[in-house]
């Protein structure tokens, strides 16, 4: 553990000034994280494939990861894959046909990711780990930005890190929810490769300086 990528969550960006919010990052970010919520899998609504497509055309070389909090993901993956995000992540709890969905995502030209809610045992996704490029460990209950970090979820990241080494796999480990100055250090030292942060970045006046400071929290 040590090197990590920063993926700002656009859920906390200024919705009427999305482009300005991204410009304020001044390229200090690594990825852009897009939260798609359907009002069924999670108790909130966000955006559809239109925003994913607009982001791709404005930022052709930025790594975009779309986190689908929708049920059933089968009904939406074709539309989102058409927007060409780099990673397309679905929840293990959202479908009885996870293997089929992940295969389909790869066939559609995206890198498949699988996400786990805080109460879901990490063992549930062991059978599909050889076929994914990303595992998203949720560290809050999905649906809203600005919630408190659930520290019990860190053990899942530790387990995934060990499992990856033991089985010679190469998926990235991502954590999402409640991460900021107080928690980023333990998140990275538990084995997380990609840190998603919404309110702790966009809730500050200078998001670029905030990202630099957050990176320093891990080193210092
Ligand atoms: C939660 C989303 C997160 C959220 C994180 O449902 O998946 O990406 O935006 O926001 P913070 O970092 O504020 O917890
Ligand atoms: Zn997310």
- The pLDDT tens digits of the residues spanning 161-214 come to 999 999 999 999 999 999 999 999 999 999 999 999 999 999 999 999 999 999
Single pTM value for the model:
0.98
Buried b (16+ CB within 10 A) or exposed e, 103-129: ebbeeeebbbbbbbbeebebeebeebb
* Domain boundaries of the chain, sorted by first residue: 5-219
- Phi then psi for 172, rounded to 5 degrees? -85, 150
Q: What is the percent of the chain where pLDDT is above 90?
A: 98
What mean pLDDT comes out for the span 29-56? 98
Contacts of 216 (CB under 8 A, 6+ apart): none
Residue 50: CB atoms within 10 A of its CB come to: 10
Write down the CATH superfamily of domain 5-219: Aldolase class I (3.20.20.70)
- The pLDDT tens digits of the residues spanning 109-149 come to 999 999 999 999 999 999 999 999 999 999 999 999 999 99
Displacement of CA 117 from its chain's centroid (Å): 12
Residue 118 CB less than 6 A away from ligand 1? no
> CA–CA separation, 57 vs 210, rounded Å?
27
Among 35, 86, 133, 193, which one carries the catalytic annotation?
A: 35
- The DSSP bridge partners found for residue 45 are 38
ipTM: 0.98
35 is a catalytic site residue: yes
Nearest CA to ligand 1 atom 6: 142
């Amino acid at each position: 553990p040590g090197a990590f990528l920063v993926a700002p969550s656009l859920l906390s960006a200024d919705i009427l000034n999305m482009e300005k919010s991204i410009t304020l990052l001044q390229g200090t970010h690594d990825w852009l994280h897009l939260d798609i919520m359907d009002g069924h899998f999670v108790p909130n609504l966000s955006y559809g494939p239109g925003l994913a497509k607009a982001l791709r055309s404005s930022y052709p070389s930025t790594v975009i990861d779309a986190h689908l909090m929708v049920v059933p993901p089968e009904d939406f993956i074709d539309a989102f894959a058409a927007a060409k995000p780099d990673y397309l992540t679905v929840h293990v709890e959202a479908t009885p046909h996870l293997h089929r969905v992940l295969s389909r995502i790869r066939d559609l030209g995206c890198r498949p990711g699988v996400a786990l809610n805080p109460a879901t045992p990490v063992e549930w996704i062991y059978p599909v780990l050889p076929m994914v490029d990303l595992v998203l460990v949720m560290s809050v209950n999905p649906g809203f930005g600005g919630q408190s970090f659930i520290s019990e979820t860190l053990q899942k990241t530790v387990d995934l890190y060990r499992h990856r080494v033991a089985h010679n796999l190469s998926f990235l480990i991502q954590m999402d929810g409640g991460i900021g100055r107080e928690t980023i250090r333990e998140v990275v030292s538990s084995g997380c490769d990609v840190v998603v942060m919404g309110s702790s970045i966009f809730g500050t006046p200078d998001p670029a300086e905030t990202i630099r400071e957050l990176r320093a929290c891990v080193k210092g």
